[in-house]
Structure 1
């Protein structure tokens, strides 16, 4: 959710929380309904995190990091693959034969993306920007996660200005649907 600190701290904590969700899913018996509920919670976290990165982190990377356009484009492509997997997983029951396969593919994609961000992108951003700028970016990312969608929308825009305009509205609709259905509440 919102952890505090600069953007690197905020997103790194998110990454650890996502790893914990995968571990919780894997600890449940195959076909158990709890796996579906945990997958919904994982989806909520991943979508909110991705939207916040796309709205604030990647534009900052484009502006401040040498070669930032190429880096941001690669990260956004990673997000697109993850979002499609989340969409494919969204309607499946935990007993569906494809459920575990999609969770495994999702874990692989997310793990590779996280490793790349933490090993390459984050150090480049720290080297290219001021501590104050990183703190402000952390605040913006936290704020964006509060209004971001909670469901995958692979056809939606992933770059400004489209994502800044549509994201909060989609987020409001998604949170209303979640409230009505109880999705994301263990």
Structure 2
């Protein structure tokens, strides 16, 4: 029987720096932030800061998973394809909901319901990862390998996009080729958040242009690889 990582000790999960501990800490922090947002009054200005922290953590965390962890899981276990496909669907649904919220703005009356739906999906995603996916890594990788994967995952997370981009693929190499150019753009947005509808539309258009440019580069690279003699 697969044993969830939720209640296991640090030593059982590979020790300090293990990918399993890093993942669980992010999940605990996400849970704390979501509960704080739900408990805050709608007029509390701190609530918007909580929301930005949630968004940044959700998307940097998921991008690192899709870049580092899920390809590894598909490689080391026969059930990896099925398990990661389900989680990727959850990620895409969360991506779409939060993208709608960013386009609509903080005064949209639908925002509260969308946030509740996104939180439910995030909690489902956490359960799936801690109960099904991450235990498979514990079963197949040594403590040392878990710590090495943790370091790689952390490096990617720290340079990952921090906002939703539904057009970016969920798997390498497309997610890296399209996502990396968006990381710098997102982090500039985080330093100077856009509040007006016009600014949000401009930011969305700029993001779309970056995705399109990176996609064109990916296609050109693929075509060059297929040419005879190259």
Verify same fold: TM over 0.5. yes
After superposition, the C-alpha distances for 1:21-72 in whole angstroms (9 at most, x for unaligned) are: 1111112113444333321211011000000000001001101122111111
Residue 146 of structure 1: CA displacement?
A: 1.2
Can you list the C-alpha shifts for 1:113-132, whole angstroms capped at 9, x where unaligned? 10111111111211022222
Aligned Cα RMSD in Å? 1.8
Q: Which residue of 2 aligns with 1:58?
A: 70
| Equivalent in 98, 106, 113 of residue 86 of structure 1 | 98
Which structure 2 residue ranges, 5 or more long, are not aligned? 1-15, 196-230
Taking structure 1 as reference, are residues 137 and 182 closer, same or farther at Cα in structure 2, changes over 3 Å only? farther
Distance 1:94 1:34 in 2: 13
Task: Give unmatched runs, 5+ long, in structure 1.
Answer: none
Distance in structure 1 (CA, Å) of the matches to 2:173 and 2:91: 17
Q: Is the 8 A contact 1:31 1:96 kept in 2?
A: no
Kept after mapping to 2: 8 A contact 1:35/1:94: no
Q: Give the aligned length.
A: 180
Check conservation: 2:60, 2:160, Cα contact below 8 A: yes
**4+ runs deviating over 6 angstroms:** none
In structure 2, the partner of 1:138 is: 150
Q: Equivalent residues in 2 for 1:115-134 (5 A)?
A: 115-134=127-146
Report the alpha carbon displacement of residue 98 of structure 1 after superposing the two structures with TM: 1.0
Structure ranking higher in helix proportion: 1
| TM-score, normalised with respect to structure 1 | 0.90
Q: Indicate if the aligned counterparts of 1:33 and 1:94 stay in contact, CA closer than 8 A.
A: no
- 1:172 maps to which of 184, 192, 198: 184
Task: Please say if 1:25 is aligned against 2:44.
Answer: no
Q: Which has the higher contact order (CA 8 A, sep 6+)?
A: 1
CA distance in structure 1 between the partners assigned to 2:113 and 2:49 by the alignment: 17
Alignment partner of 2:170: what SS?
coil
Q: Highest CA radius of gyration, 1 or 2?
A: 2
